[in-house]
Homo-oligomer: A and B are copies of this chain.
């Protein structure tokens, strides 16, 4: 029923649970799965607030991007172990929720599977986690694991 699943992955335990659930669903539906790791731009504005200024603020983004790539590749390995044949890993810079929803729209994903903090309390709801923002913004179904 689902053909193309997007799983935002930040390396967290909740994210791993989302990947495992997505893998199960993908095998069942014969869907492809895309792992997306989003990192935040280290902007000049943020740099100006720091006590210590980096000599080359450009490097910050490179370091963040390299780390995000590792995380995304780790996500792909989890999917492969889960039996998913058709999977890819992407890295994007930006505000997490908006970046995830735009990516799904651009790539015609028909399901987003995302981890929650899994606290089972109103806390997550009040704090406004990424998963809540994504369910609020997305026009395709979102499975919160």
Contact = CB atoms under 8 A, between A and B. Distances in A.
Contacts of A138: 120, 144
B118 A136 contact: no
Interface of A: 1, 21, 24-25, 28-29, 116, 118, 120-126, 128, 131-133, 135-139, 141-145
A19 to B, nearest CB: 13
Contacts of A121: 136-137
Given A1-B25, A28-B28, A135 B139 contact: no
Contacts of A141: 21, 143-145
18 contacts: A1-B25, A1-B28, A21-B141, A116-B135, A116-B136, A121-B137, A122-B133, A122-B136, A123-B136, A125-B132, A125-B136, A125-B137, A132-B136, A135-B135, A135-B144, A138-B144, A141-B143, A144-B144
A contact face: mostly helix, strand, loop, or mixed: helix
A126 B135 CA distance: 12
Given A125-B133, A141-B144, 11 more contacts: A1-B21, A21-B141, A121-B136, A122-B133, A125-B128, A125-B135, A125-B136, A126-B136, A131-B135, A132-B136, A142-B143
